[in-house]
């Protein structure tokens, strides 16, 4: 693994689940970690404290990353407290169950704002510095739902995650000559708070490897993309064989 000692990483939705695991993995590799949260400040601070106890640098930053002004303020604070952002992991997301008969325009707009627009806003905010330094790593957390429609949650979630993969490819094509790679990781069912209802419903019985994934396994896929400067524009599927891309 590349030594990230002099790098600064921003992980959105970093207070729990996959975001927490990614933040800890980045810190273990030497990066200073900015842990973003929207509501769970205590949990975000616990992640940062775990990093500091391990000898790393970390700080928490509360912001709704679906709002442009909040994103710009957050990135400015990260730069002042930790330094310019070299690594961005767009992990913030939501997956509210909605059927075709009860999904509303507000539901759709919120799903797109949190799962897709936030990645655009955060990427735009950190890109100027990455381009000047000619080095950057952006990893977007997608979902198996982008490919299979995700019948367990709303069509808005599936659409937003599919859009996120398109956003990934669009940025990757434009930024490759400037030393910035952009990729996505698409988890299947993972044993996190978001995945628990599906695990309880017995969905793991249909996964070829016979179990749900762990947040650490997703984090290792993220670290692969951070480490490898020759991979860009790709979506890495980590789903136990549930879908072959």
Specify if 202 maps to a domain: yes
Q: What is the pLDDT of residue 135?
A: 98
- 3-class SS of residue 99: coil
Range 205-228 average pLDDT: 95
Range 107-124 average pLDDT: 97
Identified catalytic residue from 37, 157, 171, 230: 157
Specify if 2 maps to a domain: no
Indicate which CATH number applies to the domain containing 112. Answer: 3.40.50.720
The number of folded domains in the chain is: 1
Q: What is the pLDDT of residue 151?
A: 62
Instruction: Name the average pLDDT for the chain.
Output: 94
What is the domain range of residue 85?
8-238
| 157 is annotated as an active-site residue | yes
pLDDT, one tens digit per residue, over 10-66 is 999 999 999 999 999 999 999 999 999 999 899 999 999 999 999 999 999 999 999
Percent of the chain with pLDDT over 70: 98
- Please tell me the pTM assigned to this model: 0.95
Q: In what order do the strands lie in the sheet with 8-11?
A: 58-62, 32-37, 8-11, 87-90, 136-141, 180-187, 235-238
Q: What is the pLDDT of residue 152?
A: 66
Cβ-proximal residues to 182 (8 Å cutoff; 6+ apart), any chain: 123, 138, 139, 140, 168, 171, 172, 175, 232, 233
Q: How many Å apart are CA 105 and CA 204, to the nearest integer?
A: 32
pLDDT, one tens digit per residue, over 62-94 is 999 999 999 999 999 999 999 999 999 999 998
Specify if 65 maps to a domain: yes
Specify if 83 maps to a domain: yes
Specify if 79 maps to a domain: yes
């Amino acid at each position: 693994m590349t030594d990230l000692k002099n790098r600064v990483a921003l992980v959105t939705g970093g207070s729990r689940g996959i975001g927490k695991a990614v933040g800890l993995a980045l810190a273990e590799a030497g990066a200073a970690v900015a842990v973003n949260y929207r509501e769970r400040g205590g949990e975000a601070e616990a992640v940062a404290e775990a990093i500091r106890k391990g000898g790393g640098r970390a700080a928490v930053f509360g912001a709704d990353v679906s709002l442009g002004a909040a994103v710009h303020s957050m990135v400015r604070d990260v730069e002042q407290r930790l330094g310019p952002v070299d690594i961005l992991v767009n992990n913030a997301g939501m997956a509210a169950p909605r059927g075709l008969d009860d999904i509303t325009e507000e539901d759709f707009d919120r799903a797109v704002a949190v799962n897709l627009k936030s990645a655009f806003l955060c990427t735009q905010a950190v890109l100027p510095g990455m381009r000047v330094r000619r080095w950057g790593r952006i990893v977007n957390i997608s979902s198996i739902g982008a490919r299979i429609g995700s019948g367990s949650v709303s069509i808005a979630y599936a659409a937003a995650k599919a859009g996120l993969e398109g956003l990934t490819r669009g940025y990757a094509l434009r930024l490759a000559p400037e030393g910035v790679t952009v990729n996505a990781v698409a988890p299947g069912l993972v044993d996190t708070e978001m995945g628990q209802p599906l695990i309880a419903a017995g969905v793991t019985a249909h996964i070829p490897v016979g179990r749900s994934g762990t947040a650490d396994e997703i984090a290792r896929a993220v670290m692969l993309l951070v480490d490898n400067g020759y991979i860009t524009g790709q979506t890495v599927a980590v789903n136990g064989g549930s879908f072959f891309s």
